[in-house]
Amino acid sequence: MNVLITGAGRGIGLELASFYAMRHRVFGTVRDERHAHKLTSLGAEALHLDLNQPASIKALAKALTDTPIDILINNAGVLYPEHDLDDIDAFNFLQSMQVNALGPLLLTQALLPNLLAGKAKKLVFITSLMGSMTDNGSGSFYSYRASKAALNAVAKSLAADLKSEGIKVGLYHPGWVQTDMGGPRALLDVGTSAAGLSERIASLDDNQSGQFQSFDGTPLPW
């Protein structure tokens, strides 16, 4: 199988690349070529992608022309800490939307021929429980919450629209994970999160397509 993982130079994406590279052909994307060696040392192939640049998405799709992708994992994301209204910055809000929601949608659009050429036809989004309206009892993190809620809406539409093509869509919260984004006080190590995510992806089928789940399979509220 061929697996493409965005944001694979560190954090959860790198751990997923490590897991899949033991079994499959893996393409991991990086923004900074200096991270590429982390992927090549795993036996994975590093490709450039900056989700802020639509031209970069097109270039990635061009580089992968005629390459089937069985599993596309939209993992890359950004979080700008916003604790109260004074922290709001329009640029950061728009960047969050671009990287966390619009970028994955444009990438899916660009790589749809590759997904259709693959056998597994699994389209995965690493989202966040912070995108849940129901779970938002503590507020703050305006840009991040809004962008992950937008990503959830995007993924839900894709699940409906691509069903007839046989594409299954997984939306997974990875847990609170010890990465640059999650910080050192997070509850989970990256290996536990990635192992759970890989189990979810392995069991993703038509019945589960479009569901919002935690890395451990717990159904999550929208």
Ligand X SMILES: NC(=O)c1ccc[n+]([C@@H]2O[C@H](COP(=O)([O-])OP(=O)(O)OC[C@H]3O[C@@H](n4cnc5c(N)ncnc54)[C@H](OP(=O)(O)O)[C@@H]3O)[C@@H](O)[C@H]2O)c1
Asked if 196 is part of the footprint of ligand X (rule: CB under 6 A), the reply reads no
To ligand X, the closest distance from the beta carbon of 65 in angstroms equals 20
104 part of the interface to ligand X, by CB under 6 A? no
d(CA 60, CA 81): 30
Applying CB under 6 A, does 115 fall inside the site for ligand X? no
Listed ranges 57-65, 82-90, 115-123, 173-181: which one lies at the site for ligand X (CB under 6 A): 173-181
Are 74 and 3 a contacting pair, CB within 8 Å? no
Q: How far is the CB of 164 from ligand X (least distance, A)?
A: 28
124 three-state secondary structure: strand
The residue whose two tokens read 């999160």 is 193
* Site residues (CB under 6 A) for ligand X, limited to 135-164: none
Residues 5-24 that bind ligand X (CB under 6 A): 6-7, 9-13
Separation between Cα atoms, residue 154 and residue 168, nearest integer Å: 14
Is 77 a binder of ligand X (CB under 6 A)?
yes
User: Which one of residues 3, 21, 111, 126 is an interface residue with ligand X (CB under 6 A)?
Assistant: 126
Among 154, 181, 194, 220, binds ligand X (CB under 6 A): 181
Residue of 9, 107, 11, 3 whose CA lies nearest to 53: 107
CB 11 within 8 A of CB 190: yes
Both structure tokens of 157: 């539409």
CB-wise, 35 or 163, nearer to ligand X? Answer: 35
